[in-house]
Amino acid sequence: MYIPEQEVRAVLTYEALIPAIRQALIDYSAGLVDQPARTILRAGNAEGSPNGWLAVMPVIAGDVMGVKTVTFYPGNAAAGLHTHLAVIELLSRATGEPLAVMDGRLITEMRTAAVSAVALDALASKSANSLGVLGSGVQARSHLEAFRRVRPGLKDIRIWSRTGANAERLAAESGARAVSLEEAAAADVVLTVTSSPVPVLEGRWLAPHALVLAVGAVGASLRELDDEAMRSSFLVAESRSCAERESGDVILSGCSVQAEIGEILAGSVDLPTEPRRRVFKSVGMAIEDLTGARLVWQARQAAGNVKIIRSRK
């Protein structure tokens, strides 16, 4: 059975996904998820930024297993194509039977925003009312949608993009303001969802109490935050091992992850009591994709659209 993106869109909601992701992150930090490091292969299709890569992400958790294959081709944007494309295979843990194969692009988009929404709710001050967004693409839009589910009090939304017209367009769509980089960076909560390979957010612009949700720049040689932003903050990640292996923001600044978000959610690690900046770095994990795929499968199952077809020997 193949589930295309339009069917995923029809059944996957942030109302279901955000709490499911929250529990998945707790389970991951509790050691209940079997998730090896992702394998990444360079496509070698071109030189420079058009060069793409393929990643394979297997995981086992609960009653299901899964594997996502995802490609990233930054040059696709110039051709009007999605830069990230993915397929997820969902299997029964009990029998190994394939349950479904589904388009993974939207699941990847939504689970990334859902992870940030969970972190926002857990790490931001309850009095936070301003949000600065650095970036104006697909992830900026999905994050704004997810954030409204957990923090509707974020009313002062500021958008910055290298392309001013794109910032203006997103601001008009979302009831936000297109502003300078420095004004966006001075918000209570700052979201970085750019494709920049070098730092765009400088620590000197941040408020002393700021929460930074760093989502872009996945790769050991890429970064969105400068040394001051990283070193002046309490650093939280989805996974210590993933962030310290795959995040240039972490590796190149010489910082160490001080807590996993699942540990904070479970209450096994406390946040600092003194006022201090916080950075949450996400790189994306297979358990998040599996969580979204399982919700899609369950929704179709509830609607009576699912049959497991066993092959005859």
pLDDT in tens, 187-212: 999 999 998 889 999 999 999 999 99
The one-letter amino acid at 218: V
Residue 305 is predicted with a pLDDT of 59
State which fold the 2-107+287-302 domain adopts. ornithine cyclodeaminase, domain 1 (3.30.1780)
pLDDT in tens, 115-130: 999 999 999 999 999 9
In this structure, are strands 53-61 and 39-42 parallel, antiparallel, or unpaired?
A: antiparallel
State which fold the 123-284 domain adopts. Rossmann fold (3.40.50)
Task: Please classify residue 46 by burial: count the beta carbons closer than 10 Å to its beta carbon, then call 0-12 exposed, 13-18 middle and 19+ buried.
Answer: exposed
Q: Would you list the domain boundaries of the chain? A: 2-107+287-302, 123-284
pTM: 0.94
pLDDT at 97 over 60: yes
- Residue 9, C-beta contacts closer than 8 angstroms, at least 6 positions apart: 106
Q: Do residues 85 and 79 make contact, with C-beta atoms less than 8 angstroms apart?
A: no
CA dist., res. 297 & res. 102, Å (int): 9
pLDDT at 232 over 70: yes
